[in-house]
Amino acid sequence: MDPVRNPFAPGAGSQPPELAGRDEIIKDALTALKRTRIGRHARSQLLLGLRGTGKTVLLNTIENAAEEEGYLTSVIEAPEEKPLAELLYPRMQQVLRKLSLIESAKVKTHDAMKALRSFASVFKVQIGDLSVSVDPEPGVADSGNLEYDLPDMFVAIGTAAKAAGKGWCLLIDEVQYLKEAELAALIVAIHKVGQKQLPVIFFGAGLPQLAGLSGDAKSYAERLFSYPKVGPLDAEAAIKAIKGPIEDEEEKITSEALNEILKITEGYPYFLQEWGFQAWNTADKSPIDKSDINKATENALMRLDDGFFQVRFDRLTPKEREYVIAMSGIGKGPYRSSEVAERLGEAPSKLGPRRAQIIAKGMIYSPQYGDIDFTVPMFDDYIRRNWKLAD
């Protein structure tokens, strides 16, 4: 079949041809956007899920919806080492530049620019041209404590946005990489603009442990956010995600082939896209049948092993690799920490720091006390295919 017409394009955050099974999450996000825009209370959202479940795609979809609703949007992917103040500054600067062009918001925007000048100075952020024309505002966003200063900035931007008849939507991916103090400051800032009924809303995405991290940062976070779970698609949605794009190209796939893809991928969206992509390229003609899936699986696993899985495994130290290899040797997760320790012949308490470091890197998480599992679906299979397991 013609690879040029292949409707599937698996990649990090790539928009799938058919966004199936996420209607409720998108509907709730749109309602929250509409309510916030008119000054009505709405919870910000933290999307929780493993790697490959489509959280980034959902954030992109929400960003588009926000822009259609009259929001200025700012998108950030939180790296593990860069400070939140440094990540936010250019986005806040960009929003204020846009608001400064709206006549009704010029005064409030000027006030917000002065606050931003103070913010940049106190957090030693490299500032751009914006700050040249304004002086800092004493007593606003200049304490040096992010938990005090970030709410000041959000209120200043929200006030300017309201004067302009606009809203501001902040979207942050990989939120679990924020430090606890940064996450606490972000939560306080969202709480503050909500109390003042300003048109500012936040959507974040991260690994499942994010719910616990936000609760640890601020106990009232559970009342401030909703936590939609972004998991594998059910059978109906998974079939739609594969079958729909193929039929849109006026080609076909057999029920047996679809069922085989579902069985292998377990409904995880990234893997559905990968298998759809490989199945299309493997098949000589329509309909794609089960025999095509066997070859597609071989190609998909080779590509995943060389990319999706390998880049994550390479981030681990030798001792951390030893730990995850021991996990895989037990079988399918979740795993008891004590079982992994026993397999490695070490005391669980001694392995605690190593386990914590692997969690911090986003490779494993704790679904419940004493249990651990991989954040990347099928990662255990990858290790069993490619690495010598601990005896």
Tokens 């008891």 belong to residue:
336
Q: What is the DSSP letter of 232?
A: P
pLDDT of amino acid 138: 77
Where do the structural domains in the chain lie, given as residue ranges?
Answer: 23-226, 235-306, 316-386
The CATH number of 235-306 is which of 1.10.3470, 1.10.8, 1.10.3210, 1.25.40? Answer: 1.10.8
* Cβ neighbours for 178, distance < 8 A, ≥ 6 positions apart: 78, 84, 172, 186
pLDDT of amino acid 78: 80
pLDDT of amino acid 130: 47
Fold classification of 316-386 is Arc Repressor Mutant, subunit A (1.10.10)
What mean pLDDT is predicted for residues 164-179? 96
* Cβ neighbours for 219, distance < 8 A, ≥ 6 positions apart: none
Check residues 126 and 281 and name the one with the higher pLDDT: 281
Indicate whether 12 pLDDT > 70.
no
Rounded to two decimals, what is the model's pTM?
0.91
- With 0-12 / 13-18 / 19 or more C-beta atoms within 10 angstroms meaning exposed / middle / buried, residue 324 is buried
pLDDT of amino acid 300: 96
Number of helical H runs and strand E runs in the chain = 17, 8
CATH class of domain segment(s) 23-226: alpha beta
